[in-house]
Structure 1
Amino acid sequence: MIVGVDVGTSVTKAVAFTMDGEVAAVEAHPTALGHPAPGQVEQDAEQVVTSVGNVLAGLGVQRPRAVGITGQGDGLWPLDAAGSPTAPAVSWMDGRAGEVVDAWMADGTFETLFRRTGNAPFPGAGAPLLAWLDRFRPGVLDRTATAAHCKDMVMQRLTGVRCTDPSDASNLFTDPRTGLRDHTLVDLCDLGHRADLLPPVADMPVGELQAAVGGLPAGLPVSAGPYDLPACAVGAGVARPGDGLLIIGTTLACEVQVDRLDLSGEPAGQTLLYGGPGGAGGWLRAMPAMTGTAALDWVLRLVGARHDELDGLLAQSPPGANGVRFLPYLSPGGERAPFVDPGVRGRLDGLELARTRADVVRAACEGLAFAARHCFEAAGLTGEVAACGGGTGSEAWLQVFADVLGRPLRVARGPEVGARGAALVAARRFGIELDESEWTRSTRWYEPGHDYEDGYRRYQADVTALRSSM
């Protein structure tokens, strides 16, 4: 077997895969998010490491051929030389660096960073968080040896290897053409004196367990990366330029494989170095919106509905939600894709006494689908779309996505597509032969039906009006 570990924002999961891609066992363990101040979101790195050991133990697999690790991207995980935390990790959901991003937008730093790296800084990204800590918590950085990413923290603790992979490095001062750090950008952000905190970049981060962990023996081969967005693309079989992946999770992540760099247009999203299925290479143009299922969860709580009622509620309200419209920008950090605006906030419009909770829920599902189309258009989608994530459990919502996107939607082989991608990458790195087409085959298809063009144009007009009013 091969084990894939996915260290998510609120849950760590491990999956044991047989050599033909079947799931033999799945184990999950929750991790907590801390909120020390309004708009701030932190995690305890020690708790995350413990969760990894717990899920590995829970699998009951004593000697897999390899372990592949992926996890949440962005954020900042400050570590000492031994890989232990020097302060709580700052989550990608954190909004404390909003003023840093605002200042960079005003003085041109934001534009320069995007045109040189293809990555638009947002408050929860590594660069503005590093700048914020340097300004307001310099003591934390003074005792820090590595400004790490989540999966790299886990890798260092398990194997002693201190490095990051090209996908996480893409988001932190890296030239996407060469894969090398651009230290002129570090200096541009007044962080030259902190450059030694950036971990080295390895094309294939690999190591061995230093000690037994979760029942797995010391010496077991371990690989790290890519982080969760590209890992899901690998696990879903996104293999051709123009093809896309829709991750319906906490964030509504939309990404498209591209074979040429285009850093024109409104600065937003991410450009990630990508080794796709078969190691095809190229880049992922990713638009990971801050909105996602968390926004739908909020609406369901608002109207007093359960998740298992979603399909029934969608059936009770027609396309267009009887005029109710929802702009799903509820994150305290604003939005990062397909535009960056730390101050943007959501709206629920078109309410009247005749409207029902089903109309509100449908408006939320349609608003999130419109946001996905907005992201895909910015990312350059021209091919097919695969889908994964918790939101794929709703048949009716998947149909809304297919309708709004106006193209067929295929559901990737699950469960845990990110862990599947991490396992596939581990197999490549350690020379384990697999049938990747079988590992990444689709399980369901949805054909577009209802025409949402008018609704999408209204959504675009609403977004433009909202941004101009902020």
Structure 2
Amino acid sequence: MLYIGVDLGTSAVKLLLMNETGKIEKIVSREYPLYFPKPGWSEQNPEDWWKQSLEGIRELTAECDKSQVAGISFGGQMHGLVILDENDEVIRPAILWNDGRTQKETDYLNEVIGKERISACTANIAFAGFTAPKILWVKENEPENFKKIRKIMLPKDYLAYKLSGVHCCDTSDASGMLLFDVKNRCWSKEMLKICGITEEQMPKLFESYETVGTLKDELAEMLQIPNTCKIVAGAGDNAAAAVGTGTVGDGRCNISLGTSGTIFISSKEFGVDPNNALHAFAHADGNYHLMGCMLSAASCNKWWMDEIIGTKDYRKEQAAIDKLGENKVYFLPYLMGERSPHNNPNARGTFIGLTMDTTRADMTQAVLEGVAFAIRDSFEVAKSLGIKIERTKICGGGAKSPLWRKIIANVLNIKVDIIKAEEGPALGGAMLAAVANGEFASVEEAAEKIVEVVDTIEPEQELAAKYEEKYRKFAKIYPTVKDLFKEIV
């Protein structure tokens, strides 16, 4: 049998075709526009997602036995607000995860309603990117649109609705809306009331590996795919990517060094750190996860290489670094502010420790180490909750650097596993579709049989000890300078 994973990203939809053994048969990608109608705003037209996804499925299945396509599932950009009217028509463009218009609403939730009350309802506090502040913004600024709302959906769930006719949402993606009681895996009645909406306006909840419906007859005929093809709930992009890297079950970890950076820790037990420094979300395997998200990771290295020293030869610059653990230069990687664990939009990138003998290689090394130290900040929060992590998977563009992988292994003092196929949320989506069809008994079994580790970076005792000392110094820099940031922004 064949399974389709749909990764609905911010700039493109990536579709992957996988067989029942986990072999990837084909991958296609189709782009769509991103709109910035005002400074700080970020929107997309859900119909663009649908059109390109439909064409992408056609292209993906053009050369296969279409009768074998048994399931379609998803990974998708989180937090976006899609609102439908009584005719299931889109009311306004979707407001995306990286839209910054809701600071007033975020402050209202955190400061007037109060972080403790919000966290008690949802296990999280408000961030400008989350969905609930966007609903409050529409209520305040577009009251006519607010009155029309019949259904509130997330981006990937709009695709699932168009394919199946079912208004659905999975628990991992719902966790990022600030409308979901993560511990009890249900909509929070109190948060819905705070936002002025009802449970009837919310989609039906499913676990990520559950079937929400089957392919509509008219689409089955159009695509020449059986109408028995299951449409499976899927997951938010980070949770779907975690499935694709085998980060499921208890105490598993994945580090992503993409444009932004995440440390994703799976757990069978629900847990929230007292300061809400990490996001506490439901996981696609039916359990839970904690996630630290830093806004600038590999993008820090790209900025340093491309904009500051003016080179595209990243490998050559890193080859000059030969004294790990001995650098006296430190870098705070907060080029776009910071989310986890500081939640400070005013934080800024900072070099400290420069002297007349500081070299170009020292500063390049400081950038790589600064990102690793910032990931450890979130890692330390997880450890404070009693979570024991001995190894991690690693993915993303930055993870292609052997040097950066070595730094991560020794800064965190854990083993770093390199996986064979790194296809992120699209592979995770296809795996969830296979689980829903009974190819595997659980998400954990699918990960065990499909995800292959091809190399492991071991921490070195002497180097890890040097980085332990360096991290303790790094950890003192942000608290010392944070009050300056609001004066200089």
- The TM-score normalised by the length of structure 2 is 0.86
CA RMSD between the two structures: 2.6
Matched letter for residue 253 of structure 1: T
How many angstroms apart in 2 are the aligned matches of 1:320 and 1:111? 40
Partner of 2:225: 217
Amino acid at match of 1:423: A
Distance 1:407 1:36, change over 3 A: same
1:305-349 deviation line (CA, Å, top 9, x unaligned): 555x22332221343685443222233xx4332232233333234
Matches within 5 A, 1:105-254: 105-171=110-176, 172-187=178-193, 189=194, 191-193=195-197, 196-203=200-207, 204-210=210-216, 211-212=218-219, 215=223, 217=225, 219=227, 220-254=229-263
1:329 and 1:137, CA in 2 relative to 1: closer, same or farther beyond 3 A? farther
Task: Tell me which amino acid in the other structure corresponds to 1:446.
Answer: I
Q: C-alpha distance in 2, partners of 1:412/1:139?
A: 50
Cα distance in 1 for residues equivalent to 2:215 and 2:305: 43
Given residue 230 of structure 1, which amino acid in structure 2 is its aligned partner? Answer: A
Alignment correspondent of 1:457 = 472
- For 1:95, the equivalent position in structure 2 comes to 100
Structure 2 Cα separation of the partners of residues 147 and 298 of structure 1: 37
The AA in structure 2 aligned to 1:406 is N
Instruction: Identify the match of residue 256 of structure 1 among 248, 257, 265.
Output: 265
Q: Quick check: 2:163–2:219 contact (8 Å CA) kept in 1?
A: no
Letter in 1 for 2:182: P
Taking the aligned partners of 1:410 and 1:255, their CA distance within structure 2 comes to 14
Give a deviation string over 1:169-196, Cα, whole Å, max 9, x none: 2233222232121211233x3x234654
> Structure 1 CA distance, aligned partners of 2:395 and 2:50?
26
Q: Using a 3 Å threshold, how does the CA distance of structure 1 residues 52 and 296 change in structure 2: closer, same or farther?
A: farther
Write the distance in 2 (CA, Å) between the matches of 1:216 and 1:367: 51
Paired position in structure 1 for 2:376: 373
**Structure 1 residue 6: deviation in Å?**
0.8
Superposition deviation, residue 157 in structure 1: 1.8
Whole-angstrom CA distance in 1 between matches of 2:101 and 2:316? 39
2:402 alignment partner in structure 1? 395
Q: Which amino acid aligns with 1:342?
A: P
Unaligned runs of 5+ in 2: none
CA distance in 1, matches of 2:328, 2:456: 29
| Separation in structure 2 between the aligned mates of residue 323 and residue 138 of structure 1, nearest angstrom | 55
On the 8 A contact 1:101/1:110 being kept in 2, the answer is no
SS at match of 1:222: strand
In structure 1, what is the Cα distance between the partners aligned to 2:301 and 2:86?
41
SS at match of 1:206: strand
**Equivalent AA in structure 2 for residue 208 of structure 1:** T
Cα 1:352/1:424, change in 2 over 3 Å: same
The residue number in structure 2 matching 1:286 is 291
Contact 1:72 1:228 in 2 (8 A): yes
- Report the Cα distance in structure 1 between the residues aligned to 2:320 and 2:211, rounded to whole angstroms: 50
Alignment correspondent of 1:410: 417
What secondary structure, in the 3-state scheme, does the structure 2 residue paired with 1:212 have? helix
Structure 1 residue matching 2:289: 3-state secondary structure: strand
Structure 1, 373-382 or 5-14: larger mean CA deviation: 373-382
Asked if 1:446 corresponds to 2:461, the answer is: no
My pick for the range that moved more, 349-358 or 94-103, is 349-358
Task: Give the direction of change, closer, same or farther, for the CA distance of 1:66–1:447 in structure 2 (3 Å limit).
Answer: same
Q: Which amino acid aligns with 2:116?
A: E
Distance 1:180 1:248 in 2: 31
Partner of 1:338: 341
Match of 1:315?
Answer: 319
Give 1:112 shift: 1.8
Aligned with 2:347: secondary structure? Answer: coil
TM-score by length of structure 1 reads 0.89
User: Post-superposition shift, 1:416?
Assistant: 0.9
> For the structure 1 residues 125 and 15, does the alpha-carbon distance in structure 2 shift closer, same or farther, using more than 3 Å as the test?
same
Does structure 1 residue 69 correspond to structure 2 residue 74?
yes
Any idea what SS the aligned residue of 1:140 has? helix
Counterpart CA distance in 2 for 1:58 and 1:359 is 47
Note closer, same or farther for the CA distance 1:147–1:321 as it changes in structure 2 (3 Å cut).
farther
Q: Which runs of 5+ in 1 are unaligned?
A: none
Letter in 2 for 1:345: R
Task: Say which is worse superposed, 217-226 or 430-439, in terms of deviation.
Answer: 430-439
- SS of residue paired to 2:432: helix
Identity of aligned residues (%): 27
- Distance 1:193-1:206 versus aligned 2 partners, 3 A rule: closer
State how many pairs are aligned: 461
Aligned partner of residue 336 in structure 1, secondary structure: coil
